[in-house]
Structure 1
């Protein structure tokens, strides 16, 4: 049984992870959090203490860390005795954290795919460019590395695996739909790191259709759905991490990701992009200063964590999975809805951070108990989804299923 958790990162998702680890420290043991900015870590711990989140008395240490430094990460793992590392820092640090875990034997959980800060939207499959190249090293070291264990990617991968295994003989399509029907009251903001958010939408939109990678422009392809709780919403075909692993597991199915955007978001995004302000490449100002436009935009937008106190409304994220069962067509919608205000009341974060932060803690608990401590690298859909979804039902992200028999809680 593995115990003692090191959380890397100190943003809005890390706050949720910290609270949920504290709520389950009887299973996870001593806790630690590390970031470049120790004051952010201390603020998260203060929040944990203020909410009385620690289930039992225990340590919650705070550390300064440059997570781009493999040796520094490995040293901190050794210093803390951490056996499970939850990486919710920037996707730019994924590979250094993974390497440190391979060197030390600690289990590794991340919530998004690795990115090279100098490149946007690399050639698919994205996991093949970085993480999957370390599969053999993980296996040789006996290290459990669970990739993309947030919500999307993460829970939606488990939704897909569950729907295929439980509801159909063959799968024909997986359409992941992510709708945030909440309001934060700001003129314009992103719900997580603006730099990462914009990088997702400035490149080619890759989807897996007809047994090959297809390419579109952002906001080129739209669908409209009438969804539980949030109602009718438009969403747009977008590039996203989980498409690249699910396409490898289900190569004969179409795999697509759709994200909801308001007309206002699209208008602002389009202006910023047309002005060149979403570029990751540096420019030189008239004063001779070198500036990365995307980082400048990030600096002037609201910190996503500041949105939480005023956020209202709900999210709906789920998978429409179509296939064949007993020779007949079947479609199921496996989904979750989350409430922004309830998330803030519980952990001090908005609903987007909540949906991203609860799942890696569930994954850590399954590693701690041995259920998911597999000793090799895996994407979420490679693992049995039932214990994961059952645990999420219990700790804050209940799953529902809608099909020909109606809309109901998924009981596992």
Structure 2
């Protein structure tokens, strides 16, 4: 029997997930999408119809649900008969959606770590604050929960596992590098939810080095990386989800995340932060209105989904894994290059959303087939990476590999 699927969320990543599920609908039973806004769900279905025709959109049904309410999500799971839930809503709802899956037995997948709206940059390891506390319940209930199965986190974790398993005897360092070399026509915008984007960068930058957590300030540590296709790019040490699971699974390796930023982004970010406009704490205006500065900034910035029509250029996201093989030093780079314009032509999205959404669909397909239906909670590097990377190559995100500076075949 094919597994029924529920997509929770109706933002840019959910848009991609719906398109890719429709393209691969033979892998699933009934497909559903739900968010607080039925109108947003219906807009996504209209996009699927425009790109793929009536037959594709007829396979998906839209629903309204408050994802902050685990009881409401659980009721919807039961009503739809969903066996698999792809949570691509705000990261504030992760634990309520996971709780609904624990109540119903549905498999749970997400693409980013849970966040408490009132807290920024909690104590590492971040997964230990919420997700891992529910690992035993998942195992006892036989519920598959795959955490962070976007691109980064997600695919980059699988890259680390593949390099460690097949190319190295010892792993000394894991560096994830995320470069967006694309350009759009807006004066300033974030590439995904501005509130989540800015929250990532206003706290401490945690990395795992010398078997301990290290803390830096944002934009304090930067270096140039020579990346395939996009060339030499400046990237900065940044706090990110995958550092917090890879450090547990590869404790002897230094684990760092680097993200590319242009001077314009850094200048705007710095001004907003110094003015207090990136604060998540409410303030009161002279008129007596209580507002959250970060939410006001989000409200005035462009919707990241609106960038897609004008976006041009490419992204390059990869994992550098260094260590030894047979006593000799070895560096393995696994990476993907995605094109903004190609993503828009295929699914009406920019490449940032595309690279986050496609892996979640691939993971759902593997859960549906049984290959990744592990009946417990895992991070991506705890799963066999080969079927995942092979499937990604077939449905839109091919990977490449360079070993000690020489391109090597990565069989799909």
Q: TM-score range by the shorter chain?
A: over 0.9
Residue 409 of structure 1: how far off its partner (Å): 4.5
Question: 1:77 — aligned with what?
Answer: 77
1: CA distance, partners of 2:64 / 2:158: 34
Q: Deviations over 1:35-58 (max 9, x none)?
A: 111101000001111111687685
Which TM-score applies when normalising by structure 2? Answer: 0.98
Unaligned runs of 5+ in 1: none
Q: Is the 8 A contact 1:336 1:399 kept in 2?
A: yes
Residue 382 of structure 1: how far off its partner (Å): 0.4
Q: Deviations over 1:216-265 (max 9, x none)?
A: 00000001011111011000000000000000000000000000000000
Q: Deviations over 1:156-201 (max 9, x none)?
A: 0000000111110000000000000000111100000000000000
Residue 299 of structure 1: how far off its partner (Å): 0.2
Question: 1:279 — aligned with what?
Answer: 279
Q: Is the 8 A contact 1:233 1:260 kept in 2?
A: yes
Residue 29 of structure 1: how far off its partner (Å): 1.8
Q: Paired residues, what number?
A: 412
Output the aligned Cα RMSD. Answer: 1.1
Q: Is the 8 A contact 2:22 2:57 kept in 1?
A: no
Residue 407 of structure 1: how far off its partner (Å): 1.9
Q: Is the 8 A contact 2:2 2:27 kept in 1?
A: no
Question: 2:147 — aligned with what?
Answer: 147
Question: 1:319 — aligned with what?
Answer: 319
Question: 2:336 — aligned with what?
Answer: 336
The 5 Å alignment of 1:1-80 reads 3-52=3-52, 59-80=59-80
Q: Is the 8 A contact 2:45 2:57 kept in 1?
A: no
Residue 310 of structure 1: how far off its partner (Å): 0.3
2: CA distance, partners of 1:117 / 1:363: 27
Residue 2 of structure 1: how far off its partner (Å): 5.2
Q: Is the 8 A contact 1:142 1:375 kept in 2?
A: yes
Change (3 A) 1:11 1:409: farther
Secondary structure at the counterpart of residue 101 of structure 2: helix
Q: Is the 8 A contact 1:25 1:54 kept in 2?
A: no
Q: Is the 8 A contact 1:226 1:232 kept in 2?
A: yes
Question: 1:396 — aligned with what?
Answer: 396
Which TM-score applies when normalising by structure 1? Answer: 0.98
Question: 2:297 — aligned with what?
Answer: 297
1: CA distance, partners of 2:147 / 2:94: 10
1:347 and 2:353 are equivalent in the alignment: no
2: CA distance, partners of 1:56 / 1:89: 22
2: CA distance, partners of 1:265 / 1:299: 18
Change (3 A) 1:317 1:54: farther
Unaligned runs of 5+ in 2: none
1:374 and 2:374 are equivalent in the alignment: yes
1: CA distance, partners of 2:233 / 2:179: 7
Q: Is the 8 A contact 2:332 2:403 kept in 1?
A: yes
Question: 1:117 — aligned with what?
Answer: 117
Secondary structure at the counterpart of residue 179 of structure 1: strand
Residue 23 of structure 1: how far off its partner (Å): 0.6
Q: Is the 8 A contact 1:146 1:377 kept in 2?
A: yes
